[in-house]
Each structure stands twice: as C-alpha cells, then as structure tokens.
Amino acid sequence: MSKIYYDHAATTKQLKVVTEAVNDAIENNWYNVSSGYTPSFESRKIVTRAQKAVSDLISCNPNNVLFTSGATESNNMVIKGVLEATDITNPHIITTEIEHPAIYETLKAEAQKGLEVSFAKVGSDGRVKAEDVLRLIKPNTVLVSVMFANNETGVLQPIEELGYELHKRGILFHTDAVQAISHERIDVEKMNIDFLSASAHKMHGPKGVGFLYVKDFKTIKPLIHGGGQQGNFRSGTINNEAIAGYAAALEYCLANFDADNERVRSIRDFVQERLLEAIDGAVVNGSLDNRIPSILNISFPYIEAESLIMTLDMKGILVSGGSACATGKKEPSRVLTKMGLSSDRSRGAIRLSFGIDNTMEEAVEATKVITESVKYLQGIRL
C-alpha cells in the first residue's frame, strides 16, 4: 500500500540532487577541510558553496554562517553563547510560550540554574504581539528569542516588527527559522536579526546538519571547544559530505521557491476546505492570515488525535499530533494549550504538513480517508 506523507514539518525526504551531492563528496571530496594539501582545498569549496547558498536565501554575509549538527545545537549555541559573552551580572532573556523544545527546554534548564526568563503569551490565533514582548524588557535583558513560524500551527510571528524595535533598544534578537526558511522570504539585515537557526532535514537536505547565522561574533562565545574550526566558534571536524547535501537543498529551494510554495499552498487549502465542509465542528487552529503554506493544524470534535493518527497510519496516511519532538507524550499540546484551546479541542487536533512531493491526487484520497476515519471514531465514542 502506498503511503501519503503529511508530516513534512517533522522531516522531509532527501532530494535526489542532495543524495548525489552527498555521494559525490563521499567519493571525491572526503578530505579534512582543515588540512593543508590541495585535495582539502577542493573539499573546502563545498563549505564555501553552502555558505553562499545560505547567504542568498537569507541575504547575509557568507562569512557569518556557521554549520552545526542542526537547529537544536544552533539554538543552544545562541542562548548559552550569549550568556557567556555578556558582562551583565544577572542577565534576562525573553521568549514566548510556544517555542520549540530546543528553545523552551533549554531556557527552562538555564532558569533552574538562576537565569531570569520571561515567557510572552500568545493570543488565541497563536501569534504573539510585539508590544507584549517589548513590555517584558528590563534593564538586564540581553536576548529575545522568538520563532519565525510555529512548528505545530505554522503561524508566523511579527519578526520584522520585533527586530526593528529591539535593534533600537540595543537588544540581541534570535529567531528559530526551521519551519519558515523554505517558505518565507527572509532578509536578516532588513529584519534586524542577530542570530538565525535552521536545519537541513526540514527542507529536503540530510539529517544531522544545520546552520547558525551570527551577525556579530563579538556577541557570542563558543559552546564547543577543540581544534578551532569555523573561526574557533564551532570546533570539530567539518562534515563536508552532509554540508554538500545541504548546499544542494538550499540551491534547489532558491531555484524553485515561488512555484513550490504556491503548489504546496494550493494542496493545503484544498485539504482544509474539504475537511471543514465534510466534518461538522472541525476547526483550524491558529491564524488563517499569518501562516506558512505548508502546515494545517485542525481539530475534530469527539475524537482523540492519538486514535485518529493510528487509524490513518493503518490506512496509509501519515500525520502527527504536533511537534515530532514531543511524540509519545500524553498531555495536550503545550502550544495549543497556551493558545487557550480547551483540553478537548487540543486532544482532538492533528497536524498535516505538506511538501513538494505531495500531489492533488493524494489530497483527494487523503481527505476522503480522513473524513471516513473521523466519522468512524466519532461513531464509536458517541
């Protein structure tokens, strides 16, 4: 039975051009980029190419791009690196209540060690207001971290407005752009972003590689010490094979940005319209106006999402209940709860996230199967 994959926010299938780039690097450019002989210079060009691709995508200086194992490491580098670099005795960091665990749990861990952390609330649409973030600023605030687009709802946050206001106040600004980077046009200079995190596997690249954009390296201290690679800001032998794949994924994204996103949006809108029409009481969670085109978070009454996900899995439709990093947890989604949704609505919510390999033919079949499955489960419960 063929599978219909609607969990692209968790991970994406590696593109053929990415696999080819990785394999070519494994075969021909596997040398240590830090070595001093000629073949290593060729391997080093892979890193330069990837930095250029990042700079083209987010409008930054290529020299301000560090490669990491992924956004979780990048996020930790920012939080802990800024705390190490600041000369403020009792620093304060602001974030939101709906951040990815890579930010949320890291800050909770730092708070247990004495860090002062403030969590800005979001509205019922899943969007934080810039004024609510700014209201939390204190004289000792050193960093504000707000995700670009939420990984469960796809809701976009007011990044450009926040960047402008924080820049005026001289406060560092970080955004986790994992979900947004392949769906939204980002200009870190225009948006006054000091740090930006991303992961390759969320945009059809390899797992285990990501990047961190750093506007000014004087504002951060290294988290990993060792051989001094990447300007001594991220030591460790550079994974040029994975970075080669990342470069190919970034270049593909740049070349196909508008067409791919328009097609993904059309599929999402079709699925959303069909499900809302077919299932009484179905409701979309999060803003309909401020969201990336790839994510649909939708609740169905009188069902448990866990049962629906299992039922759909058996029928070849792969969806999730929210963050892949929280799978297996029994409590309702923290994101949906912080949006003020009822427990029943949160427990009945699934996330469908669409990608460039989905088709409208799949959407027709998937909406039919989802509708039948929801009504079946509702019948059992009622």
Give residue 330's pLDDT band: very low, low, confident or very high (50, 70, 90): low
pTM for the model: 0.95
From residue 60, give the alpha-carbon distance in Å to each of 44, 190, 195: 20, 10, 11
Q: What is the DSSP string of 69-116?
A: S-HHHHHHHHHHHHHHH---SS-EEEEETT--HHHHHHHHHHHHTT-E
Amino acid occupying residue 299: S
Q: At 31, list the tokens.
A: 């040398």
- 3-class DSSP state of 124: coil
The 295-299 sheet, strands edge to edge: 283-284, 295-299, 349-353
Residue 66: pLDDT over 90? yes
Q: Can you tell me the distance from the alpha carbon of 201 to that of 105, in angstroms, rounded to the nearest whole number?
A: 21
What pLDDT, in 10s, does the model give residues 43-54? 899 999 999 999
Residue 328: pLDDT over 60? no
30-39, 272-281, 284-293: which has the minimum mean pLDDT? 30-39
Residue pair 260/66 in contact (Cβ under 8 Å)? The answer is: no
232 vs 212: which has the higher pLDDT:
212
Q: Report the candidate in 126, 128, 109 with the shortest Cα–Cα distance to residue 117.
A: 109
Mean pLDDT computed over every residue of the chain: 95
Give residue 223's pLDDT band: very low, low, confident or very high (50, 70, 90): confident
- Please pick, among 325, 337, 338, 375, the residue that the annotation labels catalytic: 325
Residue 327: pLDDT over 80? no
Give residue 382's pLDDT band: very low, low, confident or very high (50, 70, 90): low
- 3-class DSSP state of 208: coil
The β-bridge relationship of strands 172-176 and 195-199 is parallel
* pLDDT score at 42: 86
Q: Can you tell me the distance from the alpha carbon of 130 to that of 151, in angstroms, rounded to the nearest whole number?
A: 19
Q: Can you tell me the distance from the alpha carbon of 170 to that of 360, in angstroms, rounded to the nearest whole number?
A: 47
* pLDDT score at 329: 54
Q: At 299, list the tokens.
A: 């609740």
* pLDDT score at 32: 85
Give residue 41's pLDDT band: very low, low, confident or very high (50, 70, 90): confident
325 is catalytic: yes
Give residue 205's pLDDT band: very low, low, confident or very high (50, 70, 90): very high
Q: Report the candidate in 371, 192, 190, 189 with the shortest Cα–Cα distance to residue 274.
A: 371
Burial grade of 103 (CB within 10 A; 0-12, 13-18, 19 or more): buried
For 241, phi and psi rounded to 5 degrees? -65, -50
Residue pair 186/47 in contact (Cβ under 8 Å)? The answer is: no
99-108, 125-134, 146-155, 219-228: which has the minimum mean pLDDT? 219-228
- Per the rule left: phi > 0, alpha: psi between -120 and 50, beta: everything else, 302 is left
C-alpha 128: how far from chain center: 17
* pLDDT score at 1: 61
Residue 73: pLDDT over 60? yes
Give residue 274's pLDDT band: very low, low, confident or very high (50, 70, 90): very high
The β-bridge relationship of strands 210-214 and 65-68 is antiparallel
* pLDDT score at 325: 47
Give me the mean pLDDT over the 292-315 stretch: 97
Residue 148: pLDDT over 90? yes
